[in-house]
Amino acid sequence: MNDSEVHSLILERVDEIEDDDIRSFMRSVLEHERDIINEPRAEYADQYKSLVDDYVGNESLGDYSDE
């Protein structure tokens, strides 16, 4: 299997994941990893934290001004 065949296989498997958030997140990660391969100095940590925030956001944070 060459490079593109393996990547197709990986993407096919990712697309089979039922959880929409996980599937979408993993696709975004793979896309970014592709960019990193082309640009090894590309940043990933902030990008992935931001993606995780999109899927597991901070809307649950409470306001404790009132008891």
Partner 1 sequence: MNNIQIFEIEIEDYRQYVDNQTIDLRNSSDKHINIVEGQNGSGKSNILNAITLCFYGEETHTDSNDEEGLDSDPLVSKKRLQDLSVGDSVQGHIEIVLGKEEPQYAFRRTFSTARQEDITVNERREPQYNSSIGDLRLRQRIGGGNDWKPNPNPENILQEILPTHVHEYFLFDGEQLDEFFKTGYTDLVRAAVLDISHIELVNSAVDHLKKVQREFESESSELGGDIENLQKRKEKASQELERLQTKKSNLEADKEEAENKLDGVYTDLAGSADDEVREAQHRRVYLEERLDEQDDELLSAKKDVGNSLAKAGGVAYNTNALTYAIEQLEKYEASENGIPGLTEELLRATISNNECICGTDLSECESAREHIEELLDEQTSESQDAIEGRLRMERALEEGDDLIEDLLDDLKQLEDKRTSIAENEDELLSIANRLEDEDIIDNERAKGLEERRQSIQSRISSIDRDIGELDGKIEQQKEVIEERREEWREAMKEQDEHNLLIKQSEFLDESIDWFSEIKSEVLEKVRGDTEARLERYYNDLIWKNEDYEVILTGEYEVRLYGPDGRKNLGSLSAGERQVLALSFMAALSKISGFSAPVVIDTPLGRISSEPKQLIAQNVPDYLDDTQVTFLMTDVEYDEDVRAYISNEVANEYHLDYQDGVTEVTTR
Residues at the site binding partner 1, with contacts judged by CB under 8 A:
1-3, 5-7, 9-10, 13-14, 17, 19, 21-22, 25-26, 29-30, 33-34, 36-37, 44-45, 48-49, 52-53, 55-56, 58, 60-62, 64-65, 67
* Nearest one of 57, 59, 55 to 21, comparing CA atoms: 55
Neighbours of 11 (CB within 10 A): 14
Q: Retrieve residue 1's tokens.
A: 């299997």
Dihedral in degrees, nearest 10, Cα atoms 33, 36, 41, 42: -70
